[in-house]
Chain A
Amino acid sequence: MPRRDDLSSVLVLGSGPIQIGQACEFDYSGTQACKVLREEGLRVVLVNSNPATIMTDPDFADATYVEPLTCASVAAIIERERPDALLATLGGQTALNLAIELSEAGVLDRFGVEVLGANLEAIRTAEDRLRFRDAMDEIGLESARSAYVRSEPEAQQAAKEYGFPVVLRPSFTLGGKGGGIAYTAEELTRMIRQGLADSPVHEVLIEESLLGWKEFELEVMRDRADNAVVVCSIENLDPMGVHTGDSITVAPAMTLSDPEYQRMRDASFAVLRRIGVETGGSNVQFAVDPKTGRQIVIEMNPRVSRSSALASKATGFPIAKIAARLAIGYTLDEIANDITRETRAAFEPSIDYVVVKIPRFTFEKFSGTDDTLTTRMKSVGEVMAIGATFTEAFNKAIRSLEEGRFGFGDRESEDIDDGTLEERLVRPTAERVDALDEALRRGWSVDRVHELTGIDPWFLDQLEQLVERRRQVEACGALDAVDDDLLWAAKADGFSDVQLARVLGTDEAAVRARRRASGIEPVFKTVDTCAAEFEAYTPYHYSTYAHEDEVRDSDRRKVLVLGSGPNRIGQGVEFDYCCVHAVLALRDAGYETIMVNCNPETVSTDYDTADRLYFEPLTLEDVLEVCRRERPDGVLVQLGGQTPLKLARDLEEAGVPIWGTSPDAIDAAEDRGRFAALMETLDVAMPPGGMATSVEEARGVADRIGYPVLVRPSYVLGGRAMQIVYDDTALEGYLREAAAANPRQPILIDRFLEGAIELDVDAVFDGTELFVGGVLEHIEEAGVHSGDSACTIPPFTLGRAQQRHVRDVTRGIAAGLGVRGLINVQFAVKDETLWCIEANPRASRTVPFTSKATGTPLAKVAARVMAGSSLADLRAEGMVPGLDMVDGPQTAHIAVKEAVLPFDRFPGVDTLLGPEMRSTGEVMGIDLDFGAAFAKSQVGTGSMVLPTSGTVFVSVANRDKRAIVFPVKRLVDLGFSLVATQGTAEVLQRASIPTAVVGKVSDGETDLIDQIESGAIDLVLNTPFGSRTRGDGYAIRQAAVGNGVPCITTLAGILAAVHGIEALRAGTGTVRTLQEYQSEFRDTVRRAIEMDGA
């Protein structure tokens, strides 16, 4: 069946901000969909509140709305655009839920918008666990037995029926709050009370436990002719009980015999047909009893998912792209397989390698939360690795994580007793892989470890083989005692040069030299969907130790772009955006582009983004091997965040040509000493500070610079373990708990600039000229990590003169460092002084936001500059505007970036913002006035939605009491009623603002918490009381987050919120496309230049 001719425009829903469980895989799928739909001549209207995505680039859709993904705003967009159809299956759960809301609100009917792919009935059946179970019963498939209970007896009854343990899933709670697994009747009694209390509807789903069963997932596609194929089978190394998203997963499935696999395959088709996925991709999850092979359907997602992104990268079969084609009417047999060209999409990929995915966690940033891996996903990112065998892929995946391990067992044995070790094996955490190594090292049998972990013996045997291999190498004692056969075998098992060096007490370079001397070097093979049955035309490669290399040589000028690796807090999709832009820009400039990255969620690892894709770990060894094979003319290290930056120097030493800012200049910016010296000479102020290797020294420094001070360990990046300290006792406390200072690992102490305005500047320097892409003014004061604070373009309080000063200082720093390309400088403005906090000689988190807000593609500009163009050249090409916003006109619109924090996933963690970054993603609110833009940014976060009426609870620190009066008065004028704690209430009452008083939680008064939980409070304004964070404030903030009540913890945030609420009440918000905002601004600038000229 050819494509439907009754469609001319399609509305595509994105997935919004990056959150745990919903990351950039949906930028990848959405971007593919947009590309395809436009190729098919359809008008694409896109809505996504996430500015850091490729899909929201104006070039990827005809009309791009960076607006909140809410029923109201999308309804307005539909009314304005009148699309024929809605495509919601590529935007994750967010898009699916929104589609349901839109139809229930009657919007789709009113404007005659058809839903493509999975219909709403299908989505509902898949989402509702009981309806799903009934559907499965109908088609004779088993699903876990479960029942909704509303009382303890009911729960015990269900448990009796299923037998312990049972899984509890309270309805409608965030972060799996109140959920868990009960092993005994007593536990159940305790947990069900909690669960029922936590559930707003006093309902808990009790489910038969399948803990320890094997978990599988099939990625399936179906077309409207009812052809169905399995794209990929995935087996979890972690058994049931660890969320798939948190599990180490392997493709293809390793331990299913053909009859079992075929049964699962047919079952997955039956599920799609019953649920009613007419066209597109879905995944179906299964649990398999290792003792009997009994198969149970866990769930299905009637949409593309994180695992379909993984499956696409693992097989070369672009699920999202094909799903989009199916949605507009094609059938699988009509769609060509771009990799083989001659074959079609109606087939099942066969892979002749092994793919391993390992998630990355960030528990260290969320102290106070339980780090057990459970049925709720907690990981923030993932890596994928490809190898000829499981062991090779597994080792490559471990070193891709960038967590200091360069392979399985790359660690010192721990002296913990067997009991402790057993506990670590029984209770899965992010460290479980180390525990496995420890156990196998101790000679524990595969069976014993299997008993404790539930991990399939086949996998454990593979790991045991790695332990044995390491022993063989260790036994050689020295590098030159290792013969070629053993060295080859170790490399084929995926051992890195670093790990071998550590085992043999030498260094990485020596191992590499030894390898090269014997010609032991990897070859590069191709991901081709068909196990080499047909010739492949797409250069999508992975390294392995084998005997044939498949890379086609080319004599074009080549530039290699290093990616940013796994998403983590502090380094996410923003950097992938920059990498992709660099690739696109240099491709247009006629270079052959080569991408190296190991994050399966990303657009950069889509095989048709760069001319050549190497799916490899971003370690020195792996990058050098790619360079050895490709001999690029230049390598870009500025776009992938810290990951490639850290490699710059070693790459250069190995003779790799680094384009742009030199590794030495990078070092000058990263090394505190060198940087401080430079600031000295430029006489740019920096917060006074010092280093300390002991408590005494620390006290000394603090006395010299004066409290409050900002302390952090010198050896961790990304603002980790940073704290603001107000006095000696707190300082000692920090040294005791957070970072035991010692000569090897000193701590850094800086004067903390209290109440300072923080700025971010994103600029490009070509050696003579500096172009300021944007000066971003933060809403929260310095002290809240730049990544966690909201910020605006144009700056809302900074005057032109100040902006000029900022630009001049930035230029001085860029020139002083010797930057070629991007630079990001963070400043703090306090009593007329401009303090430099740090300079990053690379793309920053805010580059995509700045580019979207202003229309100047900074990353593209930077890439061209690194490749040798001057800003003047690029201005001539029209890529850079004739005036920057410092001298020229400012945008008529205001763009606000707001951070999205994952607190709902980590119950118990204090939600106070601080110098340590904890946000996972961001949203952008854009409109013609600050209030409306800010309000949109809050709505966009989903958790900070501002109320327009109701009751506000206020409790602020003494230093904020005066400042709070006016904003709160304004809220009362707007019709809000107030509740406050004694101290705050008195201040307000003196200003004759009617305020109800509630008792302090610490005085045993639970009234307030009850009010929050019962939904009587619509907004919480709570600024911290000095350092007493675990006091009342903590309990209040927990209650707020736990019940989805927006909670603002900074004065600046409160002031902005009031503006936002005013705007919401006045309804001044408008919906317009990014294209409109940007072209309007371009015209303004053009006119301004003409005026100058005239």
Chain B
Amino acid sequence: MTDALFVLEDGTHARGTSIGAPGTVFGEAVFNTGMTGYQEVLTDPSYRRQIVLMTAAHIGNYGMNAADAESDAIQVSGFVVRSAARRPSSWRAEASLVDALRDEGIVSIEGIDTRRITRHLRDRGAMRAALSTEVLDVDELVAQVLDSPGMEGQELASEVSTRAAYVVPPVGERTRRIALVDHGTKRSIARCLAELGAEVHVLPGSSSADDVLGVEPDGVLLSNGPGDPSTVATGIATTRELLGRVPVFGICLGSQLLGHALGARTHKLTFGHRGINQPVLRRSDGRVEITSHNHGFAVDPTTLGEQLDEHTFDTAHGRVSVSHVNLNDGVCEGLRAHDVPAFSVQYHPEAAPGPLDARHLFADFFDLIDAGSGGTN
């Protein structure tokens, strides 16, 4: 009954049933613990070159619909689940998960002991993997995995960034103009900004500071995106130049780019944070927000500069604090600059999928803008 094979570079493997397209794909194996939101995960460009495993038992129950897509295509290179819905059921459903996977050519597998693989990745860390409906011999497929590239040092943002700039109109009357530098942005980031009345100019990730300032933005948002942040040279350079000249808000990869621009380094986490139940402690008032995460790298705050106090460091751009930390593992989840208008979070205030606890950050961004410019234009 099994006609598909999933292997990790260390030889761990599992056989299951193909539920997507035929073929062989390679990528970094990662697990996501969200119990809802598989469609948002599949279409999130940050999952580029990753084979995503869902820990939830049943995937595809409510089908797929245009409204929940975070980009115009499924982005993951492979998809691993325990049980895929045979019959979706929801008034919102427009297509079934398995049809979508097949139609978009995504190699996918079901009937896997996903918990076993998850425990393995948790203990050994994210690693290279392959999923195939063609190569069903373990050793052969593992050999191919070992020839495939790892995530570290991979520049993927440019693959998924928009080539041409475009504008997302505000919902209702325009209150601000925001430049969204696209390193693989999720649609809902622009949507959240537009809903607050922003006219959003989505610019290619390759944009220079002048390109960005060219649209005369009230603020600049650095988007999420895939791959190793240290390789996104232009993005980092552009950000460095923008600092102090316009309010900057970074999300996920955008947060890591801000970190680099401030002079810090990023490091790879053992298996990363991918899920929608991550507790983040806001240091300013000790409140905890349950947030949506998708990151394998994080800023190492100790590399920001000389440590001034427990959470504040002296950087080339003045004082910068770690504003948020993950309650589970203490990972740095947010930065706030005190001497230039800039802040960032490593997680996803736009959620999609996940809790809306941190949505207010978009309004906070606008407050930061207003504080500086003393009003809108």
Contact = CB atoms under 8 A, between A and B. Distances in A.
A352 B115 contact: yes
Given A346-B279, A346-B288, A458 B118 contact: no
B204 interface: no
Contacts of B58: 254, 354, 389-390
A458 B35 CA distance: 16
B290 interface: yes
Contacts of A489: 1
Interface string A254-287: 1111111110011000000000000000000000
A344 B279 CA distance: 9
B115 A548 contact: yes
B89 A458 contact: yes
Interface string B139-151: 0000000000000
A835 interface: no
A290 B93 CA distance: 12
A333 B279 contact: yes
B328 A258 contact: no
B355 A265 contact: yes
A458 B84 CA distance: 12
Interface stretch (A134-142, A165-173, A192-200, A528-536): A528-536
B85 A458 contact: yes
Contact of B279 (A226, A292, A293, A347): A347
A612 interface: no
B57 to A, nearest CB: 5
Contacts of B275: 350, 531, 533
A255 B83 CA distance: 14
B327 A255 contact: no
A448 to B, nearest CB: 14
B288 A227 contact: yes
Contacts of B245: none
B192 to A, nearest CB: 13
A633 to B, nearest CB: 30
Nearest to B273: A533
Dominant secondary structure at the B interface: loop
Contacts of B92: 257, 260, 293
A257 B287 contact: no
B261 to A, nearest CB: 31
A342 B328 contact: yes
A546 B39 CA distance: 26
A349 B119 CA distance: 16
Contacts of B87: 446, 457-458, 461
B78 to A, nearest CB: 19
B207 interface: no
Nearest to A457: B89
B352 interface: yes
A333 B356 contact: no
Contacts of A566: none
Contacts of A290: 91
A388 B327 CA distance: 29
A388 B288 contact: no
Interface string B263-294: 00000000000011111010000111010000
Contacts of A548: 113, 115-116, 119
Interface string A223-261: 001110100010000000000000000001111111111
Nearest to A233: B35
Contact of A353 (B33, B39, B57): B57
Nearest to A350: B33
Find the residue from B39, B65, B89, B286 having the highest chain A CB count within 10 A. Answer: B89
A333 B288 CA distance: 7
Contacts of A348: 276-277, 290, 355
Given A229-B290, A346-B279, A389-B57, A262 B356 contact: yes
Interface in A488-536: 489, 525, 530-535
B62 A532 contact: no
Given A258-B68, A346-B288, A531 B55 contact: yes
Given A343-B327, A458-B61, A352 B86 contact: no
Find the residue from A229, A259, A332 having the highest chain B CB count within 10 A. Answer: A259
Interface string A904-935: 00000000000000000000000000000000
Find the residue from A348, A461, A489 having the highest chain B CB count within 10 A. Answer: A348
B103 to A, nearest CB: 20
Nearest to B111: A492
A485 interface: yes
B300 to A, nearest CB: 20
A261 B353 CA distance: 10
Nearest to A348: B277
A475 to B, nearest CB: 16
Interface in A347-391: 347-354, 388-390
27 contacts: A226-B287, A257-B68, A257-B90, A258-B36, A262-B353, A262-B355, A265-B355, A266-B356, A332-B288, A342-B328, A342-B329, A343-B279, A347-B279, A347-B290, A350-B34, A351-B35, A352-B115, A352-B118, A458-B85, A530-B33, A530-B277, A531-B55, A531-B275, A532-B115, A533-B118, A534-B122, A548-B116
Interface of B: 1, 14, 31, 33-37, 39-40, 55-58, 61-62, 65, 67-68, 82-83, 85-92, 113-116, 118-119, 122, 275-279, 281, 286-288, 290, 327-329, 351-356
Identify the 9 closest CB pairs spanning chains A and B, nearest first: A258-B37, A548-B116, A458-B89, A258-B353, A531-B55, A348-B277, A461-B87, A546-B113, A258-B36
Given A262-B353, A333-B279, 18 more contacts: A225-B287, A226-B287, A227-B287, A252-B56, A258-B39, A262-B356, A265-B355, A333-B327, A344-B279, A348-B290, A389-B83, A446-B87, A457-B87, A458-B85, A465-B86, A530-B277, A531-B55, A535-B122
Interface of A: 225-227, 229, 233, 252-262, 265-266, 290-293, 332-333, 342-344, 346-354, 388-390, 446, 456-458, 461, 465, 485, 489, 525, 530-535, 546-548, 550
